[in-house]
Amino acid sequence: MTFCTACASPLDPTVTACPVCGEGRDLATLQRAHASPPSQRPILVRCLYIAPILLVFAVAGGFVQRHTSEQKWLASAYTAAEDAAIAGDLVSARDGFAAIAGYRDATSRATEMENQLEPLQADYIEGLRAIERGEYAEAVAMLAPVAEQAPGLEDVVIRLDDARRLLAGDLRRDVDAAETVQNWPEAERLLRELVNLDPVDASARERLASLQREHGPIVLGNDRALWIVEPDGSEPRQITDALHVIWPVWSPDRSQIAFLAPDPDDPMGNTSLYRIALDGSGPERLADGVSAHAPPSWSPDGSRIAYTSFAAYDPVYETGHIGVRVFDLESREEYDVTGDEHLLAFNPAWSPDGTEIAFIVKHQGLGERPQHAPGDVVVTTLGSGEFENLTKGAVRDVWSVAWSPLGDDLLLYSLFGQTWYEPPSTSIRLLDLQTGEIDQIAGIDVQPTTPVWSPDGTRFAFTAQEETIVLSDAEGTMETLDSGEPLSGELTWSPDGTALLLAPWDADSTTILLDLSGSERDVSTVSFEFDASPPFISPPQWAPAAALPPAENPSLPPPDASEDAAP
């Protein structure tokens, strides 16, 4: 029903004008207003049809996104478990693979990790039983590998901490007992165990250094026999008198001594290399034709010994070569390092890592004495056999070389002359291996003797003008002290580097002991009886400190400081 907009009379939809008032102008407009546009209806219908489809797509997209995120998480979790397995964390690896069972080969990998954990689980249980029995060393030996490979297994880290702490308490008590009866070797052995057990224990390291300083053994030759004495010259103990001992030298681990000895049945005066173990085995003859002018040189790991060899030289016809050789204690073989490459090579010195040997090469002319021939410092890399000339004529009178324990510098000792009518001229230079620069430390005017590095490589010592003791660092900063006694130049550092022993020319004179531990330098004397007649010389040599673990051990947690706590 529609109405006229003028008079409000009812209208038939089919008429075009109001029958009452005749008005018809707005009727078409009204009709158009009530009519639906024909174009809008199809759009609405289409929307109604498309909406369900769009909803399906939205739901499907959500599922796809969720699946993609889940796959990414599974891949990330698998990678994390794989990384834990590579790192040796078996517990984390097992738990990680088990959490994503069914993904790739995670199930089988979890089983694999569980199989690897079974023996560790057994060791863990045995370790706990050892703690209960009071066998703490055995407990540490059982639990330490478990804690390293599976730190998340049960409470293994805590239990290892308990075992180490209780073992440390036992060791400290045993050290006290050994020191009470003055059993210094046993006290040192126990302190080494304590340092190895707890590398971060500074007090144990200091106590070990002090014991080595006060009671570390001295090796020397006296009356042709091999002896060990205390640093104060007391408690001499003969090791062997079977040979005429020359130049005894400790092995790095202090378990053996290498020395030279002449063959009494050889009319040519052949000298041989020997080793003897402190456990009573030996002496063992290793190599013949060894030069007696300098001591043998142990490799840093104690597996090899280097020396100057006359084995390929004929002194009658003056043919062949004098070279550097190495004896391998494991293979029992002797190796010619220099061979025919260098006809006159001597005085080997090992690099700190044992991969290289530095030595002196002389370019000797016909009838020329080695002391007058020009020379160079050459380094060879073991294994490759390659040679490198480090000085190239810059130090013509070089005679010996000493490699810094830090590996970055070489001390070059020069000697020229030394005939029956001509005293030798000597000097010391420092070669920087990084830059190749050579700096003079001591000139011929001070008559320096062969320098010796301190155990930590921070400084070195030598004597000058017979009675002066000189301490120097790599920068050339020097400290001099007057000994008041003629010194031979043969010196040795204490294991901790806080003292020096300086041998006299005459064995009947006293040896100088220089204490460097305090702010004031203390010079005293010690009486040692040793063979001091060249070339059969056997000066005192302090035992080395031997290798210790680093002060920090990142693989295992440090023990609890309280040694009395119960497990």
For 170-205, what is each residue's pLDDT tens digit? 999 999 999 999 898 899 889 989 998 888 888 998
* Preceding amide of 535 cis, omega within 30: yes
**What pLDDT shows up at residue 550?**
67
SS3 85: helix
Q: Residue 155 and residue 424: Cα distance in Å, rounded? A: 69
The closest of 133, 188, 139 to 165, measured between CA atoms, is 139
Of 14-18, 64-68, 344-348, where does mean pLDDT reach its minimum?
A: 14-18
> Dihedral sign, CA of 63, 66, 72, 76?
negative
The angle formed by the CA atoms of residues 290, 291 and 296, to the nearest 5 degrees, is 75
Token pair 């209208």 is found at 11
pLDDT at 79 over 80: yes
Where are the extended beta strands (E) located within 337-394?
Answer: 345-350, 356-362, 375-381, 386-389
Number of neighbours of residue 433 by Cβ within 10 angstroms? 16
What would the two tokens of residue 85 be?
A: 């397995």
Give CA separation, 155 vs 92, 138, 226, in Å: 14, 18, 53
**pLDDT score of 551 more than 90:** no
What is the 3 state secondary structure string of 285-300? EEECCECCCCCCEECC
Neighbour count for residue 237 (Cβ, 10 Å): 11
Q: Which two tokens stand for residue 27?
A: 């009727």
Q: How many other C-beta atoms lie within 10 A of the C-beta of residue 120? A: 22
- Burial class of residue 416 in the structure, from the number of CB atoms within 10 Å of its CB (0-12 exposed, 13-18 middle, 19+ buried): middle
Per-residue H/E/C for 157-219: HHHHHHHHHHHHHHHHHHHHHHHHCCCHHHHHHHHHHHHHHCCCCHHHHHHHHHHHHHHCCEE
In this predicted structure, which of 5-14, 316-325, 497-506 has the lowest mean pLDDT? 5-14
59 confidence band (pLDDT: 50, 70, 90): low
* Residues 365, 13: Cα–Cα separation, whole Å: 139
pLDDT at 166: 95
β-pair partners for 409: 432
Model pLDDT, residue 380: 96
Which tokens go with 111?
């089983």
- Model pLDDT, residue 490: 95
The per-residue pLDDT of the chain, averaged, comes to 85
Lowest mean pLDDT among 20-29, 57-66, 442-451: 20-29
> Model confidence at 5, in pLDDT bands (50, 70, 90)?
low
Percent of the chain with pLDDT over 70: 83
Lowest mean pLDDT among 130-139, 264-273, 319-328: 264-273
C-beta neighbour count of 253 within 10 angstroms: 12
- State which H helix or E strand residue 315 sits in: none
Reply yes or no on whether the pLDDT at 424 is more than 90.
Answer: no
> Is the per-residue pLDDT at 16 higher than 60?
yes
- Cα separation, 545 vs 455, in Å, equals 8
Euclidean distance between CA atoms 384 and 481, whole angstroms: 45
Closest to 295 measured CA to CA, from 280, 305, 284: 305
- pLDDT of res. 97: 85
Task: Please report which confidence band the pLDDT of residue 418 belongs to, taking 50, 70 and 90 as the band edges.
Answer: low
Question: For position 565, what pLDDT does the model report?
Answer: 35
Residue 439 three-state SS: strand
Does the structure show a pLDDT above 70 at 504? yes
When mean pLDDT is compared across 57-61, 299-303, 490-494, 518-522, the lowest value belongs to: 57-61
pTM: 0.74
pLDDT at 24: 58
Cα separation of 500 and 542, whole Å? 9
What percent of the chain shows pLDDT beyond 90? 51
Q: What is the mean pLDDT of the segment spanning 550-559?
A: 46
User: What is the arithmetic mean of pLDDT over 71-100?
Assistant: 81
Q: How far apart are CA 21 and CA 238, in angstroms?
A: 151
Ordered DSSP codes for 507-547: TTSPEEEEE-SSSS-EEEEE-----EETTEE---EEPP---
Q: How far apart are CA 440 and CA 411, in angstroms?
A: 10
Alpha carbon 80 to chain centroid, angstroms: 30
Strands 532-533 and 536-537: antiparallel
pLDDT single digits (tens) 443-484: 988 899 999 999 999 999 999 998 999 999 988 899 999 998
Q: Cα(270)–Cα(311) distance, rounded to whole angstroms?
A: 9
Beta-bridged to residue 273, according to DSSP, are: 260, 287
Averaged pLDDT for residues 525-547: 88
Q: How far is CA 37 from the centre of its chain?
A: 91
Q: Which of the four pLDDT bands, split at 50, 70 and 90, describes residue 491?
A: very high
Alpha-carbon distance 477 to 430, whole Å? 13
* Rg (alpha carbons) of the chain, rounded to whole number: 43
User: Which of the four pLDDT bands, split at 50, 70 and 90, describes residue 86?
Assistant: confident
Residue 62 in this model has a pLDDT that exceeds 80: no
Residue type, 448: P
For position 563, what pLDDT does the model report? 37
- Per-residue DSSP letters for 43-62? HHHHHHHHHHHHHHHHHHHH
Residue with tokens 């707005």: 26
Decide if pLDDT at 34 tops 60. no
How many Cα atoms are found within 13 Å in the side-chain-facing hemisphere of 412?
26
* Distance, CA of 567 to CA of 564 (rounded, Å): 9
DSSP letter for 37, please. P
* Residue 437: alpha-carbon gap to chain centroid: 27
Residues facing residue 218 across a β-bridge: 229, 542
Q: Poorest-confidence range of 70-79, 84-93, 127-136, 437-446? A: 84-93
Whether the CA torsion 423, 425, 426, 431 is positive or negative: it is negative
User: Is 70 exceeded by the pLDDT of residue 247?
Assistant: yes
